Structure 1
Amino acid sequence: MNSPERNLTHEQFISTAIDAINTEKAALALLTEQIDDRFAQACDIILACQGRVVVTGMGKSGLIGRKIAATFASTGTPAFFMHPGEAGHGDLGMLVKGDVLLAISNSGESDEIKMLLPVVKRLNIPLISISRDKRGMLPHAADIILTLGKSQEACPLNLAPTSSTTATLALGDALAVALVHARNFTSEDFALSHPAGALGRQLLTRVEDLMHTKSEDLPLINQQAPLQEALFIMSAGRLGMTVVTDDKSKVVGIFTDGDLRRGLEKGIDLQTPMRELMVSNPRRINKSMRASDALSVMNENAISQLLIVDDEQRLEAIITVHDLLQAGVK
């Protein structure tokens, strides 16, 4: 029978929250004492794995297992979660030779995992267990036994998995981080598995993916041409600028809307040649540069466009700040 509700004061709510967090901090401190050569051996086994790391666990352990598998998969260790209950009804076919099984059970006595062990043994699949201590069916069957330590749950009844699940998640993260270091996993590698997010756009998008190329009738004008002609080219190009070239079509300068406004304030004539109005030696970049790095160059130099030239210093493409922002590059 449920006990009647008891209202807490705001101070009591805050006090219980702090107590819960401190209890879980103690569980993490206890976990650090459990990290020894067994952890390093588990890393060796996963690094040597020719297949996938299959993570399994029941109940709250399963929820944590899903997160651990997702973290592995996004940081260079192919992994997925297998529900132990469903595994006994056909999903065990997901597990094949060459895989590694990471099984989680705080008590070490999960019946659902116990049913899987004969098949795991027959397939000669390395088994890494995560449990409170070395007692129990699962640790006894494991090749590597990772332990959390017997901590107090943050639940006041010491029943609901709280501190133990926090410690399990931290141990899974520790494995993933150690493997990131071992594999020399880079931010570019990370982006390949996150192409749809902002991070993926930042790390994967290159200037060549967004730039305006020669086929788009880039705004070009000879340095001897008058301002009047440049205005027509700028309007047609719709980039708010024109690139100035010499008689050999090599880039020598740039002229923008901003330069035009400043020139008009000084009373320039429409017949003034571009060589007298252009900004010489405009910034040039390589088309293989990250788009996010190109945006940084623009911000640092207070400019809104960059030129991409070939080996002969002829204009190959243009990229503007508008192109970058429109693509979601930050």
Structure 2
Amino acid sequence: MSSASFDAERAVRMGREALQVEARALAELAPRLGEAFARAVQAMLGCRGRVAVMGMGKSGHVGRKIAATLASTGTPALFVHPAEAAHGDLGMVTPSDVVLALSNSGESDELNAILPVLRRLGVPVLAMTGRAESSLASHADIVLDSAVAEEACPLQLAPTASTTAQMALGDALAVALLDARGFKAEDFARSHPGGALGRKLLTHVRDLMRSGEALPRVAAGTPFTEVMREMSAKALGMAVVVDAQDRVQGIFTDGDLRRLVEQGRDLRALTAAEVAHPRPRTVGPEALAVDAADLMEAARITVVLVVDAGQRLLGAVSINDLMRAKVI
């Protein structure tokens, strides 16, 4: 068909029909979850090894995604290609593992060829199939019904609704498992340290704060000109007023400077204690960086001080520090 004869309305209609078929497949799948699903979750929950997910063709592609989802939500899992398993990769599977085998027809030659070996190893086999009477189902300890009434493909050839059902059923297993494990956002972050969630939940203030000589700090009696010199040298847009024990007494910021200029004050005659704001916002070093970001946003400030339990100055973190670390 040439582009000149392309029927845009028909294309949209076909797309909508495909989505409707797949939506119906999922709607019909949900009520069928029952005792077998609970047993499958229990078997995976009690697994002392890993969940080895297997599947050929499109089911294999879905299986890879299911294995990845399980692994990232607290259930150790890997994908084992059935054809490669018959030529050595079956050594990846141990008696401590559980196998989740996917096949819509349940008659995948490569998959069925290794099922007797898995049985001899004593490995529990969970089958996800659209045919309860298939060879795969007959070899399985637990059968998860992923049957669909029709494929979204108008020729009823390309796996479409059936693979969507498999994908959704895999997600359902992962969700039920993470809930049973008490898996939390912090646990998810540990498996995703390079992602945005990992940075938010794993980065602490202590990891980002500026400390030591990088901190602009002055004594209460420091003349205003020296305060400005310290602020300029450390380029944090503020100076911290501390006592002899390094306890925080106040903070002077660029914003405070602008307000003093607007008031027409004789700045040269002032000391650090006279210009400083006495109650600066502070956090502890163990606070999450994202919590420091929330504090800055709520208080409309760009720097927050880091102190210990005795209010001694440990460091400071700025909004620029958080942005560089991609916390915000």
Within-5 A mapping of 1:121-160: 121-160=119-158
User: Is the Cα–Cα contact under 8 Å of residues 217 and 230 in structure 2 kept in the other structure?
Assistant: yes
The alpha-carbon deviation at position 235 of structure 1 amounts to: 1.7
Q: Counterpart of 1:168 in structure 2: which amino acid? A: Q
The alpha-carbon deviation at position 25 of structure 1 amounts to: 1.1
Q: Does the residue aligned with 2:282 lie in a helix, a strand or coil?
A: coil
Residue 249 of structure 1 is matched in structure 2 by 246
The structure whose residues are more often helix, as a share, is 2
Work out the number of aligned pairs and report it.
326
Q: CA offsets, 1:246-282, max 9 Å, x none?
A: 3553211100122112212223321212222111110
Q: Say what the alpha-carbon RMSD is for the aligned residues.
A: 1.5
Q: Counterpart of 2:12 in structure 1: which amino acid? A: I
Q: CA offsets, 1:79-99, max 9 Å, x none?
A: 011110111111111111100
Aligned counterparts of 1:325 and 1:279: Cα–Cα separation in 2: 26
Q: Counterpart of 1:235 in structure 2: which amino acid? A: S
Change (3 A) 1:41 1:5: farther
Residue 29 of structure 1 is matched in structure 2 by 27
Give aligned-pair identity as a percent: 49
- In the superposition, the TM-score normalised over structure 1's length comes to 0.95
The alpha-carbon deviation at position 142 of structure 1 amounts to: 0.4
Alignment partner of 2:221 out of 218, 221, 224: 224
Aligned counterparts of 1:250 and 1:36: Cα–Cα separation in 2: 62
Residue 102 of structure 1 is matched in structure 2 by 100
Q: Counterpart of 1:146 in structure 2: which amino acid? A: L
Alignment partner of 1:113 out of 85, 99, 111: 111
Q: Counterpart of 1:208 in structure 2: which amino acid? A: R
The alpha-carbon deviation at position 322 of structure 1 amounts to: 0.9
Residue 306 of structure 1 is matched in structure 2 by 304
Q: Does the residue aligned with 2:268 lie in a helix, a strand or coil?
A: coil
Residue 208 of structure 1 is matched in structure 2 by 206
User: Is the Cα–Cα contact under 8 Å of residues 30 and 149 in structure 1 kept in the other structure?
Assistant: no
- In the superposition, the TM-score normalised over structure 2's length comes to 0.96
Q: Counterpart of 1:201 in structure 2: which amino acid? A: R
Residue 284 of structure 2 is matched in structure 1 by 286
User: Is the Cα–Cα contact under 8 Å of residues 55 and 66 in structure 1 kept in the other structure?
Assistant: yes
Residue 180 of structure 1 is matched in structure 2 by 178
Residue 240 of structure 1 is matched in structure 2 by 237
Aligned counterparts of 1:308 and 1:248: Cα–Cα separation in 2: 15
5+ residue gaps, structure 2, are none
Q: CA offsets, 1:216-257, max 9 Å, x none?
A: 352111222221111121122221111012355321110012
Q: Counterpart of 2:231 in structure 1: which amino acid? A: M
Q: Counterpart of 1:69 in structure 2: which amino acid? A: A
Aligned counterparts of 2:286 and 2:310: Cα–Cα separation in 1: 17
5+ residue gaps, structure 1, are none
Q: Counterpart of 1:115 in structure 2: which amino acid? A: A
Q: Does the residue aligned with 2:283 lie in a helix, a strand or coil?
A: coil
User: Is the Cα–Cα contact under 8 Å of residues 148 and 161 in structure 2 kept in the other structure?
Assistant: no
